[in-house]
Amino acid sequence: MNKQPKYRQVADALRREIDNGTYPPGSRLPSEAELSTRFDASRNTVRAGLNLLVTQGLVASSQGLGYQVTKHEVFKLNASRFENLTFPQNGDAYSTDVTAAGRRPSQTFRVELQPAPKHVAERLEVAADSTTVLRFCHRFVDDVPWSTQATHYPEWLVAKAPRLTEPGDIAEGTTRYLAGLGVTQVGYFDEITTRMPTPEEARLLEVGAGVPVLLWMRTGYSDERPIRCTVTTFRGDLNQMNYEIGDLSAREVSE
């Protein structure tokens, strides 16, 4: 005898059918009325089961359109090669990687001067609340929100690199731009964490309940000191980060 609450039985049955392809990504589930009949359960019980799938990121709900199985077209980002100037690029690193994957990049920008948040000031080794240049990107892959990226540059760098304060994209990417001015990033320190999104992050990335975000903080260094701190916030359901460390010549990769 199944001792699970009825709403969990509904959720488990639908989850199995999503996993086995009965309801593929992008398809709509039967209506609440149809599911009520199938499971011999009240509409409230069925709705609770569906909402459980929503919180798990398997299903999205739209008013008037019912419940749809979430599409998971995962984008794989090679974080070891991202911004590596020894690899050929077509524009900045983001555009290069997305285009190379056969997908379409697009993004919006804003640039502003603002006091450095505490965690940024610590990583840039500048005084708390000192002025930084914030370059903020809202990025898309095939018109689907992919990430937001907030990069802070210390004020001392602006005198050497005035284009940092210009609105809009730097076509070759800021890492190449700075290297051309003699400010070469020779290394970086990465920090990766996950958490649930803030309301603003959920709005920008269009994530549903139950979908976490992946935070990638990269502090870039010249041979003398930190030159930037970048926080990229990814949708947790559509992204995978890979690193290559050491000699991988024995590894065969088929894409």
- Whether 218 has a pLDDT exceeding 70, the answer reads yes
Q: Are 18 and 56 in contact (CB under 8 A)?
A: no
pLDDT digits (tens, 9 = 90+) for 223-251: 999 999 999 999 888 888 888 888 888 87
Please classify residue 127 by burial: count the beta carbons closer than 10 Å to its beta carbon, then call 0-12 exposed, 13-18 middle and 19+ buried: exposed
- Model-level pTM? 0.72
pLDDT of residue 248: 84
- Whether 176 has a pLDDT exceeding 60, the answer reads yes
- Whether 131 has a pLDDT exceeding 80, the answer reads yes
Tell me the average pLDDT across 43-50. 93
pLDDT of residue 201: 94
Average pLDDT score, the chain: 87
pLDDT of residue 92: 65
Tell me the average pLDDT across 89-94. 64
pLDDT of residue 253: 60
Tracing tokens 């500048």 back to the chain, one arrives at: 126
Please classify residue 12 by burial: count the beta carbons closer than 10 Å to its beta carbon, then call 0-12 exposed, 13-18 middle and 19+ buried: middle
pLDDT of residue 69: 86
pLDDT of residue 84: 67
| Separation CA 136–CA 195 (nearest Å) | 20
- Whether 121 has a pLDDT exceeding 90, the answer reads yes
Which SS3 state, helix, strand or coil, does residue 118 take? helix
**pLDDT band for position 31 (50/70/90)?**
very high
pLDDT of residue 82: 73
